Amino acid sequence: GLPPRAALGFGLGALAHVLSRLGLLPGVDEEIAAAVSTLREGVERLGPASGPDSPAKSAARTTLGRMLVVYTTSPAAHAAGMRLKAQVNENGKSPALVVPFPELDHNDIVGWEVLRPRRDDFVLLLLRSADENTRTSLRVDVTRELLAEEFHTILEFRAAGETMLARTLSLVQYGDYLSCYLAEAAGVDPVPVARIEILKQRLQALGE
């Protein structure tokens, strides 16, 4: 079967269908339809048939051999960012870090100062909501300016779609593609997670 991380759509669709039939999520069918439409557009923009300069492919090339740092601008974007981190770890076999606005402006931005000589080892990705208010947008823009000297590259991807579900899934889709392209660029198989299996075996042997 599919790895759990590759089965999000199946689980989400089934859960939404059940809750809709129980009357617990009125309007969810329309939400799903809108999200599917947004994701189909995303396949054209980000999928394998997209050009070499598509956002996910170019981000993967830039991230190869570097640590990806993801800053998120809303709770929904942060949820997608947490999945992106896990996908980069498991599919791309690469490190990643995710931190939300505005919390990061109270501490995280200071922590990069001593690493400035190693700026080429880090890529910053701003994972942005489509419905940011003016205050959040200003905060993100000022933070980006402050960190320009701390990172090899600063990338940005903004959610697409008309609904919260569509926008969140568009960020998830971007992260999933990015992680798979990263695996391809690194010449690794995105499916196996050998270290996790070894960890489980060793813990089991210890009675954990």
Give the active site residues. Answer: 90, 106, 200
> Are the CB atoms for 159 and 128 separated by under 8 Å?
yes
Neighbouring residues of 14: CB distance < 8 A, sequence distance ≥ 6: none
Nearest to 128, CA basis, from 76, 66, 67: 76
Fill in the amino acid letter for 69: V
- Partner residues linked to 158 by β-bridges: 128
C-alpha separations of 15 from 24, 52, 77, 83 in Å: 11, 35, 21, 19
Stretch (H or E) spanning 67: strand 67-72
Q: Which residue has the tokens 């640590």?
A: 67
- Residue that is written with structure tokens 């929904």 in the block: 76
Q: Which residues pair with 68 in a beta bridge?
A: 96, 123
CB 60 within 8 A of CB 181: yes
State the amino acid at position 28 in one-letter form: V
Residue 43: name the closest of 145, 127, 184, 160 by CA: 160
